[in-house]
Structure 1
């Protein structure tokens, strides 16, 4: 069912608002990573400066997305809040570790939400993606369980990379590795989606 409050927006515009800030963060980091800026007597590395620019950028893109579409997903809202909180802490304390922790908390939070829903016999993933992927109840439960564990894996990967590797490695992982991992995950679920497609059940419904 279509949300009466939602607005029609070109797909390219929605994609640009969702992925644009991350692309600009990567470009800004590559350009400024070796620079040092002295502000009010305190030295800030390029990563911190780019983070300071990224926070208002993600807030502006989220606000514009809401204005254009009339709605925001829970993940978009949580991401904007955590970017603001942990990005702000990184800038305020001049410590990039807080911003690097942010993806871990996002993934663990959504994993916890999915596991809680499964415990209650519900798929919260279906509430977000049911229009895009018509699956049976069993299909959604299986996919949600896999997605929850996938988020746990992403959280562990993020922790391992930022704690043991360079900032360059973490930025590349965040910019390219995570989208590729997400794409690969859904490709790997093709068999599940085919086996549990609700569209195939429609002719036999009473």
Structure 2
């Protein structure tokens, strides 16, 4: 039996099998963000109830610490269930840990504000850069939801790459011009509807390039 790799197998690898339901996968990806939002909005209350938390600093920095912990737990659950780590959440986690650690060590919340900018810009660069090497890396994210031909994955990867850069610019606009609470709320609640709307606009492309899966004999 071939050894299971640490990083999830390529979407086209016939040995890849989904061991996590779409609902649980969604919960693992959204959970850390919801924790971040809750602690940002209720940080003062948490510090009052648990004075030791004051060592982390103001609410946005406390939320960053909780976000890092929730991200680590999410990846750990993924590892326990599948014995591999999903590519995109893993890349995101690296940025979260680096910028989160800088924010906490330097007590500078700017690092926390810029983290989504860096993550989205990185994802955009990875997707568009992958196309340069003729690899549609978006398939790692959506292969369990869609089955597309090569041209479909290429076009979808290009569009998502541009969309990630749009989200990076949007995050810069929000955190530089609005309150911390509004930014935290938008980061968790606002980005999701925008992303869902963008996904819906891609359905015609997805329908045109969907490959019918042949039933197993």
The equivalent residue for 1:26 is 37
The equivalent residue for 2:206 is 193
CA distance in 2, matches of 1:35, 1:3: 42
The equivalent residue for 1:158 is 171
On the 8 A contact 2:39/2:62 being kept in 1, the answer is: no
CA distance in 1, matches of 2:199, 2:29: 19
For residue 28 of structure 2, the aligned residue among 17, 36, 39 is: 17
On the 8 A contact 2:123/2:164 being kept in 1, the answer is: yes
Residue pairs, 1:136-147, within 5 angstroms:
136-147=149-160
The CA deviation at 1:131 is 4.0
Runs of 4+ in 1 over 6 A off after TM superposition: 34-39
Count, aligned residues: 199
CA distance in 2, matches of 1:119, 1:16: 32
From the superposition, tell whether residues 9 and 139 of structure 1 become closer, same or farther in structure 2 (CA, over 3 Å).
Answer: closer
Residue pairs, 1:103-114, within 5 angstroms:
103-114=116-127
For residue 96 of structure 2, the aligned residue among 75, 83, 108 is: 83
From the superposition, tell whether residues 14 and 149 of structure 1 become closer, same or farther in structure 2 (CA, over 3 Å).
Answer: closer
Cα deviation 1:123-152 (Å, max 9, x = unaligned): 121244334211122211111111110001
The CA deviation at 1:2 is 4.8
From the superposition, tell whether residues 15 and 31 of structure 1 become closer, same or farther in structure 2 (CA, over 3 Å).
Answer: same
CA distance in 2, matches of 1:73, 1:47: 27
CA RMSD in angstroms, aligned pairs only = 2.7
CA distance in 1, matches of 2:56, 2:72: 25
Question: Is 1:176 matched up with 2:175?
Answer: no
CA distance in 2, matches of 1:113, 1:24: 27
Query: TM-score, with normalisation over the residues of structure 2?
Result: 0.80
**5+ residue gaps in structure 1?**
none
From the superposition, tell whether residues 118 and 17 of structure 1 become closer, same or farther in structure 2 (CA, over 3 Å).
Answer: closer
The CA deviation at 1:120 is 2.6
CA distance in 2, matches of 1:42, 1:120: 46
On the 8 A contact 1:35/1:45 being kept in 2, the answer is: no
CA distance in 2, matches of 1:125, 1:85: 24
On the 8 A contact 1:36/1:45 being kept in 2, the answer is: no
On the 8 A contact 2:35/2:70 being kept in 1, the answer is: no
